Amino acid sequence: MDFNPTYIPYSSKRYPVYAQHGMVCASSPQAAAAGLEILQKGGNAMDAAVATAAALTVVEPTANGLGSDAFALVWSEKDQKLFGLNASGFSPKNISIEKVKEKTGAEKMPVYGWVPTMVPGAVSGWAKMSEKFGNLPMTQSLAPAIRYARDGYPCSPNLEKMWQRAFNAYTRSCNGEEYAEWFKTFAADGVPKAGDIIRLPNHAKTLELIAQTNSEAFYRGELADRIVADSDEFGGFYTKEDFAEYNAQWVEPISVNYRGYDICEIPPNGQGIVALMALNILKEFDFKEKECVDTYHKQWEAMKIAFADGKHHVTDPRFMAFSYHDLIRPEYGAYRAAQITEEAASPCPETPPSSGTVYFCTADGEGNMVSFIQSNYMGFGSGIVVRDTGIALQNRGADFSLDENAANALTGGKKSYHTIIPGFIMKDGKGLAPFGVMGGYMQPQGHVQVAMNLIDFGMNPQQALDAPRWQWLNDKNFEVENTFSNEIAKQLMYKGHRVQVALDSTSFGRGQVIVKLPNGTLVGGTEGRTDSNIACW
């Protein structure tokens, strides 16, 4: 049979999946299977999250890797508490605006190379998760990922597409000696096609070392030494102290109560607060119908206002001029909601009064649930792979500003504005639903749409993900999927919105949802826009 696995002429129909003992929803079938394998070997949802995260660095390197950052929201049934994990890294302490301008001759942070890389946090996050909650050692949780990297796995259709896109970009922009290892690691034989077997032997060796040392080798051992050595040789800014001082942090989640449900996010430096700001505005309105102009108009206006405030204020909280809690106070949401009129506007940021990413979720039969997101930011990231390790470094520092007066101005040892965000829904103080939608600045927009689909419009988890999506681009410009109602799009244009239809759904994010029913049954939905799968038992 000769077929194109990426050609999809007909809409696919999926039903939500039900399970009793455990569930893993991920953007890769192999990664979901890795998490399920660990659940069936006695691991809990947290062990499954570590296994899935590690496997995704192997089976979806086009979006994350060993040089990634990560965030997680963890519901512990034993503690009856939601925990937040910030595993995002900071900039090298030796970097500065002046040094970057001198090195690059530009007024904006570069996208590729050593300059936008930051100390990766994901590997530390795995260790923190395992140490605090895990039933199994990391040597067991990382075993499926090591096996995939060493023995190989088949390339999937969406993976082929994203790999080709990255290869084209790096071929155009990454021509220096410092990028040679990326081409050696990920394109030695060209771009893999769907069905080709992919092996990453250096990645396997690095994962083994991480597992054997509970991640210590990555920050205070052999792997840290290798990263710093390459940085020194190719003009980076790292020192050994940058890695030795790094540890992922447990943080207190932030939330907004939306119609009796607590929508929870990680606090800044992540942009989850943007989703909460939008919901804090939208709760001031009643929505009776999803497919109507008024619903979309108010969603779009609220989203623009939230981004105006978020992109202006959000950064490492140590550098914010006021408490981020002020941005999600009910009275500030009501104040901003009152500014929405019947016409599209171009909102400006205000200061409240004082007073390329992978997402997955896991759940076990004991009631534990994890919402986890991990990313190299733009596809494979910076284009930098540390020699003989398989460590592809993220380029999160590209979001820093070289304007010293900006909230997100570059300085040494600082965390940047972070786009990746896990979401979680609670009801009456109990964990209910881990959820997320990956994809740059689409993520808070996806969170708002999925949460409202579940809460306002009574959709099941699968339909909440399948519903046509929209995204704000800039000013009054919005993009909608080609399944979005043409008639509603026209009416939104009459209100002053500039609407364009996208023929490719890649930029609209990739989500996962698990909802726990009152009897403990798990109901999952997975993303139809990519290679997603649900593994359960």
CA separation for the pair 59, 96 (Å, rounded): 35
**DSSP three-state, residue 514:** strand
Under 8 Å CB-to-CB from 88, ≥6 apart: which residues? 69, 70, 71, 121, 269, 270, 396, 415, 416, 418
Angle between helices 442-455 and 293-313 (to 10 degrees): 140
- Residue 258: name the closest of 369, 421, 424 by CA: 424
Helix (H) or strand (E) holding 232: helix 222-234
Are 380 and 186 contacting, i.e. CB atoms less than 8 angstroms apart? Answer: yes
Q: Which of 236, 48, 38, 220 is nearest to 126 (CA)?
A: 48
Is 295 a known active-site residue?
Answer: no
What pairs with residue 429 in β-bridges?
Answer: none
Beta strands in 277-418 (DSSP E): 358-364, 369-375, 385-386, 391-392
Q: State whether the Cα torsion 283-285-289-293 is positive or negative.
A: negative
**Distance between CA atoms of residues 532 and 513, nearest Å:** 12
Residue with tokens 């893993």: 24
Q: Which residues pair with 525 in a beta bridge?
A: 513
Whole-angstrom distance, CA of residue 66 vs CA of residue 59: 12
| Kind of pairing between the strands at 533-536 and 249-251 | unpaired
Residues forming a β-bridge with 514: 524
Please name the amino acid found at residue 395.
N
For 60-177, where are the alpha helices, taking DSSP H only?
97-104, 122-133, 138-141, 143-151, 157-173
Task: Indicate which residue of 52, 62, 185, 357 is catalytic.
Answer: 357
Per DSSP, the three-state class of 365 is: coil
For residue 437, what are the CA distances in angstroms to 170, 332, 360, 423, 424?
26, 26, 9, 8, 11
Please state, in angstroms and rounded to a whole number, the distance separating the CA atoms of residues 470 and 326. Answer: 28
Distance of alpha carbon 496 from alpha carbon 472, whole angstroms? 14
Contacts of 428 (CB under 8 A, 6+ apart): none
Token duo for residue 26: 């991920």
Report the distance separating Cα 238 and Cα 240, nearest Å.
7
Distances (CA, A) of 373 to 206, 254, 301: 21, 17, 27
Active site residues: 357
